A and B are shown apart, each in its own frame.
Chain A
Amino acid sequence: MNREATADALGLHERASATPEHAESKRKIMVGSAPAWTEAELGLRAQQEWFAAIVSTPQDEPAPVDEHSAARLITPSATLSSLERLDIYRRGYHARLIECLVDDYPVLQHALGEETFERVCRGYIARHPSRAPSLNYFGQHMAEFCAGAALEQPQFAADLAKLEWAIVLCIHAPTSTVVGFEDLGRVPPERFPAARFSVNPSLRIVHLAYPANAYLQAYRQGQPSPLPPAVQPTSVAVYRTGRSVWRLELEPTMVTLVESLGNGATLEAGLAQVQASLLHLPEQEIAKKISHCFQHSVSSGLFSAISL
């Protein structure tokens, strides 16, 4: 089991009042048909709805307005038509949100390739427009979106997205203390069975059908993995201690223990669940496995507090 620190970004979408530079494009504007309104003297609400509808229309679709209609609400400049002026906002809208998804999903982008990833992002933006003041959680539906997308390996893409999103969530989770062996040493032995262990509040256990964590790690180390990978179910703990984000592939016994303790079980009850999952093994082997499972969970920093 490797515990690997990620060299991820700081978990911030560098929001700014700037317009993304690559919002610029030589792409020809596709002109649509005139909208239903007929008068230029629309109220504020109607003007904003009209403007937002144009801005958010996917760029591979015709603008929902023609040049003549656009000129009723937007004046042309000396150098740009009304529609061209509106298109600056339309390109900026999509470019800004795509930038945000690239920040959240660099490995997914690498796996899919830039072109396919951008196509996925445009579909995502249309399906899940932002409704929050912050972009911190804009990418939260990507795994589900990939699973249903027309991709060569939608489930692998979904697994990568699930893993990368867990990293984002863990960056935004509260920073906590970490229980170490010296803390265990302060617990009177007779009180261990009833002790309850709080799991690190940043911890997410991600269950994957494909080896997405190995793929991510190879990417980070500059060793591209061949695609497509074979199915290989794994469970990965993603969590943070201080400023370091960790990914730890978990054995099934650790999943059982951490999920059980995370649900409020006492240590005795949690270990009993682990034991129940190992009954096919010789008794001595079971004891060894349970001991290793608990010690490894502690040494990895998966717990944040002990309640007696």
Chain B
Amino acid sequence: MANRFQLPDLGIGLGLRTKHYSTILEQKPQLDWFEILSENYLRTEGRPLDFLEQIAEAYPLVMHGVSLSIGSSDPLDRQYLSELKALRDRVGARWVSDHLCWTGVAGKNTHDLLPMPYTEEALKHVVDRVRAVQDFLGAPLALENPSSYAEFSGNSMSEWEFLGRLAELADCALLLDVNNVYVSSKNHGFDPLTYLNAIPYDRVVQVHVAGHTDHGTHIIDSHIGPVIDSVWQLLATVYRRCDGVPVLLEWDAEIPSFEETHAEALRAREYIGSAP
């Protein structure tokens, strides 16, 4: 099923990381698309943008942010939104995504993806803000389910119910991170298939896969190492329900060579290729 926003299936992509810049610029390797971390290219006029503009000439780009703080009780940062929009237009990004989370309050930014309380109050708050952001951007915003390590005792619904209702009420897109579903399922003790069964797949415009670190008592979403088989299996499940969705590998710690990272991303073919 194609997504309702008619956003394109870009194929299998990689998160753009500085370690790979020289390989990308010098060798122009075959790759479907890159996802950039939006904040890396904000509030700079120099070398980072020089690199990015060259890469944008050769590859489709998507912007993935970590500071929208859509769930914060602080007012939306209009300057940030303006910068986001300007960057999108400058590099021709196909869409903009961020996370269902908050990153700070009272003007301070923790630069972490902090968990939302899943309550009616929070839902209404986030719906209003997503609508405002989409109006500002003039395009659908894709929100990603985060990994989390803590849950509020006052939650009146599950994360998947919150996410599904949010997507419908705000009419936004979803970036479904199957590694995050796996990490949170272990940290909070739920069945990841219960989560995946509740997702409105016509709103899923992108899927993330990544590695993580299992500490026994809990799992950290470290984006390190290869993707484990259980996460690939979740990708296969998702892909059966939304054929044609772009898949992206995030690798953020102990990043190997471009070739090795890309090879890991291409393993997705084994799982999406088997989708009926």
A: residues with CB less than 8 A from B are 9-21, 23-24, 40-45, 47-49, 51-52, 55-56, 71-75, 77-80, 82, 85-86, 88-89, 92-93, 96-97, 129-137, 170-175, 202, 240, 243
Are A243 and B47 closer than 8 Å at their CB atoms?
Answer: yes
- Which residues of B sit under 8 angstroms from A173, Cβ to Cβ? 45-46
Query: With contacts A13-B40, A18-B253 known, is A24 near B220, CB below 8 A?
Result: yes
Q: How far is the CA of A96 from the CA of B222 in the complex (A)?
A: 12
Are B218 and A23 closer than 8 Å at their CB atoms?
Answer: no
For chain B, what secondary structure do more than half of its interface residues adopt (helix, strand, loop), or is it mixed?
A: mixed
How near does chain B come to A6, taking the closest CB pair, in angstroms? 12
Closest to B79 in A: A133
How near does chain A come to B157, taking the closest CB pair, in angstroms? 14
Scan B63-96; emit 1 where CB is below 8 A from any A CB, else 0: 0101100001100010010010000000000000
- Taking a contact as CB atoms closer than 8 A, the residue among B45, B122, B154 that contacts A73 in the complex is B154
B: residues with CB less than 8 A from A are 15, 17-18, 21, 37, 39-40, 42-48, 50-51, 64, 66-67, 72-73, 77, 80, 83, 99, 102, 104-114, 117, 119, 121-122, 125, 144, 146-147, 149-154, 187-189, 210, 213, 215-218, 220-224, 250, 252-253
The count of A-to-B residue pairs whose CB atoms sit within 8 angstroms is 197
**21 A-B pairs, CB-CB below 8 angstroms?**
A10-B18, A10-B48, A17-B66, A17-B99, A20-B222, A20-B253, A21-B224, A42-B154, A44-B119, A45-B73, A52-B106, A73-B153, A74-B152, A86-B150, A131-B109, A133-B80, A133-B83, A171-B48, A172-B48, A174-B45, A240-B46
How near does chain B come to A226, taking the closest CB pair, in angstroms? 33
Are B109 and A130 closer than 8 Å at their CB atoms?
Answer: yes
How near does chain A come to B13, taking the closest CB pair, in angstroms? 15
- Which residues of B sit under 8 angstroms from A243, Cβ to Cβ? 47, 50
Query: With contacts A51-B114, A131-B108 known, is A19 near B147, CB below 8 A?
Result: yes
